[in-house]
Amino acid sequence: MHFLYDLTNKSILTAPFSAVNESTWEHMKLMFFPLFVFALIQSRFFKEYSSFWCVKLFGILTGSVMIPVLFYTCGGAFGKYPDWLNIAFFFLSAAAVFFMEAHFFKKGISCGKRPCIAFLAICLIGVMFAVFTFVTPNIPLFQDPLSGTYGR
């Protein structure tokens, strides 16, 4: 998904769910959409877990928050660092998602009587990723470190 936008000649159809630049926000988007699609597939097999979408919401938030936390913490502490470390941060964040979700499923965490609210929250996050691709706030989270530009 990282290079889909460029491979499709910067197609407006791929922009909402693929990386349009190298900003931290776009890397968070690269974490979100595969997790969401995987959760939709998993939901067919996890029907006995009433807390499924609640656990998935926690997982998606964990992965999405870890990316900027690791990036900005390491950047603040060490300044410039090698690109391979960004890739390692991404994989570390993805691993944390799956470990955390497995732990929550094993513990039987519950999100109350309305798991549909967790699903709606996940959908809202997806909408935010799509909207902010085109209407990008001018804050460092959205700035491409290579070009200095924001968004698409």
CB 134 within 8 A of CB 17: no
In a domain, 72, yes or no: yes
- Cα–Cα distance, 18 to 31 (Å, whole number): 10
- Cα–Cα distance, 36 to 64 (Å, whole number): 12
For residue 72, what are the contacts with CB-CB under 8 A and spacing of at least 6?
24
In a domain, 145, yes or no: no
Supply the pTM of this predicted model.
Answer: 0.85
User: Rounded to the nearest 5°, which phi and psi values hold at 85?
Assistant: -70, -35
What's the pLDDT at 48?
73
In a domain, 14, yes or no: no
- Report the SS3 class of residue 108: coil
**What does each C-alpha distance from 29 to 32, 127, 152 come to in angstroms?**
5, 11, 13
pLDDT digit string (tens) for 73-87? 987 787 787 888 888
What is the number of domains present in the chain? 1
pLDDT digit string (tens) for 25-62? 999 999 999 999 999 999 988 877 778 899 999 999 99
In a domain, 50, yes or no: yes
Q: Report percent pLDDT > 90 for the chain.
A: 49
- Cα–Cα distance, 20 to 151 (Å, whole number): 7
Q: Which of 36, 19, 1 is nearest to 118 (CA)?
A: 36
> Residue 101: enclosing H or E segment and its boundaries?
helix 83-107
- Cα–Cα distance, 94 to 103 (Å, whole number): 14
In a domain, 18, yes or no: no
In a domain, 13, yes or no: no
The parent domain of residue 119 ranges over: 35-139
